[in-house]
Structure 1
């Protein structure tokens, strides 16, 4: 018999439910235990963030930078453009809708910690690098390795990436449900959790509608290039969409995405190049979720922001998430550094970002891979005749 696997999303849902139910009638002592645990985990997460950036961004930039040719450049620019367009679209919609969804009397800073409850002890774990230093280091080493073709240094960073990925999978993700439980345990103890949950549900609903709109828009733009029915082309991509919903992995969905893209008329060689590359660098759905959740949490906390701040964050996010490992929630893990450095998120807000993101992880991945097919159509229009001539020759 096939062994049943209890995924990360169900674990987080159970953790939230238990945190709410137990927090309604618990005495202070259990709350202090989880306040202590959350403090230790927050310190560890803060220590890990710069290492995540260096370990994941460096080899990702090195791998992409080694390619050459116009097709790589066009595909990369299209993927990055689509990703940041998604971010700016989300910001515009969020600015218009979120203020009416988030009540003025709801301040996350007032309810995210149980009043008067202090941890039994704390342990400081200083980070080895600050976030901006680690970002600059990652870009410098990544571009340098790509330019010089330094195999030995590339091998070192590839192994470092494996260590960081293993740490995320073996330590961070298994402990994350306990951390989320502690947060909602504390919030329920302070009596405001249901206001927070009502806002979360509304935000998730808005994001779901937006990602459907984004897919229709992407295929409408692609139809201008290829002169085909956009809804029919989008309909052919539904097997890839639903496969991504189940696997929560762009990489695992590549074979299905390629097959459906070819059925939309893209040359096999073009699809074989664009789809695997875009599975790594095109993250429209993930960007939409992160920008929307970040904007909502900033409004809830009464944090000051402006267009210039969010614009810089979106453009940096489109680059940083290229490093997302092939694990559920990988994009948000890669984005933690710029959330804290550019938007000023503390550990409590980062934890809620993780919870919100993972709650929609499947839909973001499905949006990413389905959009890959639209980008492949545009690339095929630019280079398809050349690929056909090479194949015939």
Structure 2
């Protein structure tokens, strides 16, 4: 009898848990020295963890570009594409605003900054610009002066704008440009297949990333900030269960528990990498297995990875209350409204890479006069929270994509309720993909 092969999903979760355990053991029980610091943490863990992340980041720009071009082409009708785009954008903005409101409201109940002894908190030096671009500048910056330069620099909003424009033009020309159209479709297939081959290294990469994180920080850095961390985690949980769960049920009549059970591989991968961009291909593939057409997901998921940062918005809302209370600064209702508007705008164009939420947090702090130096209070423990909020970011992208696909008649709900278990979902069939 042939022994059942362990799925990639199971391997990734095993790598995550094993890395966490090993990282904690290394932090507390392995004495400092060349073996621990140079060979293990900054050697093997750094090599395999960062190496895997660089492989994923290598694929993000071409994958997003070809995905959006082919997604716009596949939708075809420019009126329908415009309707899908506006609907998706509206959902993303609303869920982000709700995330900030939840964060501010929940923080008022937990008071994360009250009673904090600042001398006990590990701080870090912050050198973050205190000036923010105007609204007009942000809009104009979406239009690339040189699309090739945008591709090489990884400016995701400009890449999305150019790819969307190109896809619309190719869709309108139809059979007049068969060579370019075929090239775009085949290039997208190549990038997807390349991504899935890189994904075979995910268990090792995830193991190394988690092991390095917990080898560095252990649990010591968490203790003085436990109230802040619990508040952020609570806000993320409310957003995931209440907001996304209700939206799924209201707009698609889908069982949220079934949805997130099938979606759990993406949650685990997003948590491990802390990068929405690196999670794009896994998100698209998993949603396709769950019945969401790539005609929608290949357009909405890359867009969401760039402009929909609900988890980041929750962190920023909690951080505002935390720093204001820690420094004894009183905030008025107008300040809260300003935070909601600024944090929503700050999430648009945020790079889908680890830790970038701390950079945009400076813009939010400036909008209500909080000291930017307060960001240094949370930098020491932000890595783990960054991992958690990335999982929420990717969940928001998937939920909105599913709702839009359902409304466009491109969501096969029966695929979601198949008897196929999470552990049976893997990428083993990719060895047979023909390019």
- TM-score bucket of the superposed structures, by smaller chain: 0.5 to 0.7
Write the distance in 2 (CA, Å) between the matches of 1:373 and 1:84. 17
Question: Would the alpha carbon gap of residues 265 and 292 (structure 1) be closer, same or farther in structure 2, given more than 3 Å must change?
Answer: same
Match of 1:89 among 102, 114, 125: 102
Contact 1:267 1:384 in 2 (8 A): no
Deviation at 1:241, TM superposition (A): 0.2
- 1:320 paired with 2:346, answer yes
Match of 1:75 among 88, 96, 101: 88
Match of 2:305 in 1: 279
Question: Would the alpha carbon gap of residues 225 and 344 (structure 1) be closer, same or farther in structure 2, given more than 3 Å must change?
Answer: same
Question: Would the alpha carbon gap of residues 232 and 151 (structure 1) be closer, same or farther in structure 2, given more than 3 Å must change?
Answer: same
Write the distance in 2 (CA, Å) between the matches of 1:301 and 1:209. 23
5 Å matches for 1:198-347? 198-217=223-242, 218-339=244-365, 341-347=366-372
Contact 1:287 1:318 in 2 (8 A): yes
Question: Would the alpha carbon gap of residues 140 and 249 (structure 1) be closer, same or farther in structure 2, given more than 3 Å must change?
Answer: closer
Write the distance in 2 (CA, Å) between the matches of 1:265 and 1:158. 31
Deviation at 1:75, TM superposition (A): 0.6
Contact 1:324 1:333 in 2 (8 A): no
Contact 1:79 1:375 in 2 (8 A): yes
Deviations, residues 368-387 of structure 1 (Å, cap 9, x unaligned): 10221111121112223599
Deviation at 1:304, TM superposition (A): 1.5
Contact 1:82 1:284 in 2 (8 A): yes
Deviation at 1:308, TM superposition (A): 1.9
Write the distance in 1 (CA, Å) between the matches of 2:122 and 2:271. 34
CA RMSD of aligned residues (A): 4.0
| TM-score (normalised: structure 2) | 0.55
Write the distance in 1 (CA, Å) between the matches of 2:268 and 2:337. 31
Write the distance in 1 (CA, Å) between the matches of 2:280 and 2:128. 39
5 Å matches for 1:59-74? 69-74=82-87
Match of 2:185 in 1: none
Write the distance in 1 (CA, Å) between the matches of 2:273 and 2:136. 33
Question: Would the alpha carbon gap of residues 263 and 96 (structure 1) be closer, same or farther in structure 2, given more than 3 Å must change?
Answer: same
Deviations, residues 158-191 of structure 1 (Å, cap 9, x unaligned): 77777xxxxxxxxxxxxxxxxxx9xxxxxxxxxx
User: What SS class does the counterpart of residue 292 from structure 2 fall into?
Assistant: coil
Question: Would the alpha carbon gap of residues 151 and 247 (structure 1) be closer, same or farther in structure 2, given more than 3 Å must change?
Answer: same
Write the distance in 2 (CA, Å) between the matches of 1:361 and 1:269. 30
Write the distance in 2 (CA, Å) between the matches of 1:157 and 1:259. 26
Match of 1:5 in 2: none
Deviation at 1:156, TM superposition (A): 6.5
Write the distance in 1 (CA, Å) between the matches of 2:88 and 2:327. 38
**Unmatched 5+ stretches in structure 2:** 1-19, 29-67, 73-77, 156-215, 413-435
Match of 1:139 in 2: 138
Match of 2:377 in 1: 352
Match of 2:37 in 1: none
User: What SS class does the counterpart of residue 374 from structure 2 fall into?
Assistant: helix
Write the distance in 1 (CA, Å) between the matches of 2:234 and 2:295. 33
Write the distance in 2 (CA, Å) between the matches of 1:386 and 1:205. 36
Deviation at 1:256, TM superposition (A): 1.4
Write the distance in 2 (CA, Å) between the matches of 1:221 and 1:160. 36
Deviation at 1:142, TM superposition (A): 2.2
| TM-score (normalised: structure 1) | 0.60
Deviations, residues 54-100 of structure 1 (Å, cap 9, x unaligned): xxxxxxxxx9xx997111111111111101100001111111121xx
User: What SS class does the counterpart of residue 288 from structure 1 fall into?
Assistant: helix
Contact 1:71 1:379 in 2 (8 A): yes
Match of 2:394 among 369, 373, 376: 369
Deviation at 1:112, TM superposition (A): 8.0
